[in-house]
Structure 1
Amino acid sequence: MSNYHVSKNKETSKWDIQKEGGSRSSGSANTQKEAEKMAKTFASNSGGGEVRIHGLNGKIRDSDTVAPGNDPRSIKDTKH
C-alpha cells in the first residue's frame, strides 16, 4: 500500500503526484483532476492507499481511500 499527494508545482505550474516519503515526483499533469486520477491509479496498482489532494495554499483539502485500502470512516464518499 502506498499513499500519494497531489499538489501544485509553482515552478512548472503543473500538478505533481508524489508518493508519500518519496523525494521525487511520480508524475505530473496539467490539471488537478488529471493528477488526482493518475494518483488513484498509482495507489491502486500498489495495493491501495490514500490520495491526498492539496489546494493552492498547500493544505490538504480532500482525501480519498483507494481500494483495497482501509478507510477508517464508514461513510460513503459522495464527492468522487
Structure 2
Amino acid sequence: MDGAKGDIETYYEDGQWKNRPEGNQRASTAHDTKAEAEATGRQMTIQRDVVHVIKKKEDTIGEKNTYPRSRDPRQTEG
C-alpha cells in the first residue's frame, strides 16, 4: 500500500455501479445496484478515513459524505 488516501468514489460505468479511490483508473468493486455500491463504498470510506463521493449515472456529483459525521468540516445539519 502506498499510503495514498484518495476519497472513495461511487460511480456508474458499463452497466454497473463501481467504487474506487479517487485517482485510480480501475474500480475496486463492482455491483449491480447503486445501493450495494453505496454500502460497500461507505465501508471503504470508513476504513480509509476519507470522504465518500457518490456520483449520479451522468457522472455528476450527487452527494459527499464524511464518516464519522463528527469529522464533517461543514458541521451542518442533514
When the two structures are superposed, what TM-score results if normalisation uses the length of structure 2? Answer: 0.81
CA contact 1:50–1:64 (8 Å) conserved in 2: yes
- Name the structure with the higher helix share: 2
CA contact 1:51–1:63 (8 Å) conserved in 2: yes
Output the amino acid matched with 1:8: Y
1:1-80 aligned at under 5 Å gives the runs 1-9=5-13, 11=14, 13-46=15-48, 48-67=49-68, 70-77=71-78
CA contact 2:18–2:28 (8 Å) conserved in 1: yes
Distance 1:62 1:56 in 2: 13
CA contact 2:55–2:63 (8 Å) conserved in 1: yes
- Unaligned segments of structure 2, at least 5 residues: none
CA contact 2:17–2:31 (8 Å) conserved in 1: yes
- Unaligned segments of structure 1, at least 5 residues: none
CA deviation digits over 1:28-72, x for unaligned, max 9? Answer: 1111111011011111112x1111111111100111112278311
